[in-house]
Amino acid sequence: MRRQLTITVACLTCLVVLAGCGSSKSSTSSTDSVKTDSSTPDSSTASSSTAGPTTKPTVKIPATLPTELVITDLEEGTGPAAKAGDDVSVFYVGVRSVDGTEFDSNFDSQPFPVTLGAGGVIQGWDQGLVGVKAGGLRQLDIPADLAYGDRPQGDIIKAGDALTFVVKVVSVSTPLVVPDANPADAPTVSIPTSVGATELGITELVPGTGETAVADGTAYLQLNAYRGDTGAELESTWKTGKAVKVVLNSGTIKGLVDGVTGMKVGGRRLLIVPSEQGFGSDGNTANSLPAVTDLVLVVDLVGFTK
């Protein structure tokens, strides 16, 4: 989901999201254990700036190991039921079905976003979260073939393990459909150099007239990213015209969140992001951004949903 290293929208997401894409650290975020390309689960590396529910639910393991997906609604929730293609934001705790050993939870962190049916998480989640409603609590008992099959994950999940999750649903929303942009319309902007910036620089290039972006909403961006010291282009959504979807919360680099918040749809900004509000001493190896290097971003806000 955020692991591709080719020049795609997914790769550019790696340039703006904090968890697991370009850091030089070897640990992984707590959300990795439900992704299709999971590595060692380690909830200690997840951001804790957005508090989750105060009480993590107790997981009751199944009496017999599941051979097919078993869905149990512990609390129903309200509002529209999630369908394939919807965005679902959740807290969760996961254990081995055989003995209840916990391998992952984000209840002390921030909600984890999932686009149902996109293949970014294990099949047991893509199938098992269909029908959930905001506020609902659902248990998923997932057979190995809908989890990781014969591929062990980290130090806890063994080959052939069935997994059990209890998932608290924060929100369900239908994503905004944003048309592709014409690459020929990519902005031509003089890119300044920036070394050692100490505060975020925001230059309004084109004022927008649509909805205003606010914290915790989802921004749809056309975005060019450059190294501050050399001006070398790191990534650009304009190459394909496909906007990148970015949640304006603590999982995204602070400079982008603060720089986009307050923009109106249709607007364009030039952002100079100090290293400490970007990737700091880690840099972003996936996009060839060295440690302690400022970012320069040209951002078009083409859509926004709360």
**Are both 47-173 and 183-305 of the same fold?**
yes
pLDDT of the residue at 18: 61
Hey, where are the domains in the chain?
Answer: 47-173, 183-305
Mean of the per-residue pLDDT values for the chain?
A: 86
Q: Please check whether the domain covering 183-305 is classified as CATH 3.10.50.40.
A: yes
Answer whether residue 202 shows pLDDT above 70: yes
Residue 35 to residue 199: CA distance in whole angstroms = 35
Residue 248 to residue 306: CA distance in whole angstroms = 10
Query: 144 CB contacts (<8 Å, ≥6 apart)?
Result: 150, 160, 161, 162, 163
**Nearest by Cα to 49 from 101, 7, 109, 106:** 109
Task: Tell me the whole-structure pTM to 2 decimals.
Answer: 0.70
Give rounded-to-5 percent helix, strand, coil for the chain. Answer: 15, 30, 55
Q: Note the pLDDT tens digit of each residue in 225-242.
A: 999 999 999 999 999 999
Q: Note the pLDDT tens digit of each residue in 240-272.
A: 999 998 888 877 899 999 999 999 999 999 999
pLDDT of the residue at 49: 33
Q: Note the pLDDT tens digit of each residue in 141-181.
A: 999 999 999 999 999 999 999 999 999 999 998 989 999 99
Q: Please check whether the domain covering 47-173 is classified as CATH 3.60.20.30.
A: no
Exposed / middle / buried, residue 239 (Cβ in 10 Å: 0-12, 13-18, 19+): middle
